[in-house]
Copies of this chain bind each other. A is one copy, B any other.
Amino acid sequence: MRIEIINTGSELLLGTTLNTHGAWMGMELFKLGLRVQRQITVPDGEAINSAMAESMERSDVVIVTGGLGPTSDDITREAAAEVLGVELITDEAALRSIEAFFADRNREMAEDNKKQALNPVGGDILPNPNGTAPGIYTPPRMSGDRLCALFLLPGPPSEMRPMFENEVEPRLRSLAGTNEDHHIQVLRFTGVGESDFHAKLDQELVSIPNLEVGYCARTREVDLRLIGAKASIEQAGQLAINTFPDMCFSQNGESLEEIVVQLLQKQGKTISIAESCTGGLIANRITNVAGASQVFTHGFVSYSNLAKQQLLNVNNATLERHGAVSEATAIEMAEGALANAEADIAISVTGIAGPSGGSEEKPVGTVWIGIATAGSSAAVKKFAPYGRDIFKQAASQDALNLARRSLEQAMA
């Protein structure tokens, strides 16, 4: 099935907004065993017409994002009607949904928003619970000398992504037919780099029949994507886990924070978090998981030395002797977080994010991760000499992984 994606939006071409639609959709389609053959970005306005017409002549499915807003340069609906050679008519149900969206929020609906209920004849409205622009789907119809289906989706990722999952994917599945022996598994690893996979695993993986292998490297994480026959996936997955023992934290695509919350729930334990350089990122990641409130009650962002003393009972002498970024401080932070939250496990992070604050002995990127449980406490040193954002992400990943390892050992 040949799929093309068209993203409209001048901001994507001006560089003020990074186009994440292509990568996100590529990943989602890949899970269905589908590939994107071409992705095209055009500015707001008339450029969409020719791009859509060209793509439809080449493709079985064309997915367009953006240009469904209420303003004069939002003309994706009009362009689709022109390319399809049909009229636009108001969909009464869609109009009522848009009116309800404004009424629910006690906002007045502008006259311009009415055009968002326009639908090319023969199109299906795709509901948008997260915004005013409904999507549109037109089933396969002749375009040039081939049948092509068309999806029009809103531009904001917060509206597009749920609509893609709920409305587009089921339709693509049925358009593509089912492939019984098409499975996918994503194993996620931390503590090992993509180059380690290439060096130690690639050759063996390639020799497994009916298998396609892909990697995705993130900060302190490699996702191994296995696609193909069930037995092949199982063989490959086992091989990867045996090659990198303890480094595979998830066999079903869960994030590290989801795994930590699941382990805590299973063991009926609570976690406490003491953060200096990560500044709340770890607590934020944990609380992104629905149900976090069962396992997480207290988070401490102790950005200053005084806060480390006041919130976490870190000794002034420890700070003076070893400094805030040290093994001793990391351990005392974790112990303080454990005691003050009456938690079962506590993790702590203290490091130098930069750009300033580094020294020869403790360069920017140095970070100590502490862990404490009722019986014991410890700290490990890590190094992440990257920009502020990646530094924080790397440190949060290392801390969550320390918690995971400790919780898994407690079960073993």
Number of this chain's copies in the complex = 2
> If the complex has contacts A38-B40, A47-B38, A215-B16, are A273 and B301 also in contact, measured as CB distance less than 8 A?
yes
A33 within 8 A of B: no
Residues from chain B with a CB closer than 8 A to the CB of A11 are 214, 216, 225
Minimal Cβ-Cβ distance residue in B for A281 = B284
A286 within 8 A of B: yes
Residues from chain B with a CB closer than 8 A to the CB of A311 are 298, 300, 311
Beyond the given A13-B22, A293-B304, please list 14 additional residue pairs across the A-B interface where CB-CB is below 8 A.
A13-B36, A16-B23, A22-B41, A37-B47, A38-B40, A38-B51, A39-B40, A40-B40, A70-B195, A71-B202, A113-B195, A287-B392, A292-B303, A298-B310
Cross-interface CB contact of A18 among B23, B156, B282, cutoff 8 Å:
B23
A95 to chain B, nearest CB (A): 16
A65 to chain B, nearest CB (A): 14
- The answer to whether B24 and A392 have CB atoms under 8 Å apart is no
- The answer to whether B22 and A340 have CB atoms under 8 Å apart is no
A111 to chain B, nearest CB (A): 8
Binary B-proximity of A58-77 (CB < 8 A = 1, otherwise 0): 00000000000111100000
Minimal Cβ-Cβ distance residue in B for A130 = B386
Can you report 10 residue pairs joining A to B where beta carbons are below 8 Å apart?
A14-B225, A37-B42, A40-B40, A44-B214, A70-B195, A72-B202, A107-B193, A112-B198, A113-B195, A290-B354
9 nearest CB pairs, A to B: A279-B287, A299-B301, A280-B283, A15-B27, A15-B26, A280-B280, A297-B304, A280-B284, A39-B41
C-alpha spacing A40/B40, complex, angstroms:
4
> Which DSSP category, helix, strand, loop or mixed, fits chain A's interface?
mixed
Cross-interface CB contact of A69 among B72, B194, B273, B310, cutoff 8 Å:
B194
- The answer to whether A20 and B17 have CB atoms under 8 Å apart is no
Residues from chain B with a CB closer than 8 A to the CB of A27 are 14-16
Residues from chain B with a CB closer than 8 A to the CB of A386 are 130, 158
Residues from chain B with a CB closer than 8 A to the CB of A70 are 195, 198
A148 to chain B, nearest CB (A): 17
A269 within 8 A of B: no
- The answer to whether A18 and B16 have CB atoms under 8 Å apart is no
Binary B-proximity of A178-202 (CB < 8 A = 1, otherwise 0): 0000000010000001110011001
> If the complex has contacts A217-B156, A283-B301, A303-B299, are A223 and B16 also in contact, measured as CB distance less than 8 A?
yes
C-alpha spacing A399/B328, complex, angstroms:
35
- The answer to whether B298 and A301 have CB atoms under 8 Å apart is yes
A87 to chain B, nearest CB (A): 25
A41 to chain B, nearest CB (A): 4
C-alpha spacing A298/B275, complex, angstroms:
10
Max chain B CB contacts within 10 Å: which of A16, A72, A193?
Answer: A16
Residues from chain B with a CB closer than 8 A to the CB of A198 are 70-71, 110, 112
C-alpha spacing A44/B383, complex, angstroms:
31
- In chain A between 355 and 371, which residues have their CB closer than 8 angstroms to a CB of chain B? 355-356
Residues from chain B with a CB closer than 8 A to the CB of A310 are 298, 340
Residues from chain B with a CB closer than 8 A to the CB of A54 are 54
A219 within 8 A of B: yes
C-alpha spacing A107/B16, complex, angstroms:
40
Residues from chain B with a CB closer than 8 A to the CB of A385 are 104
Residues from chain B with a CB closer than 8 A to the CB of A71 are 194, 198, 202, 215
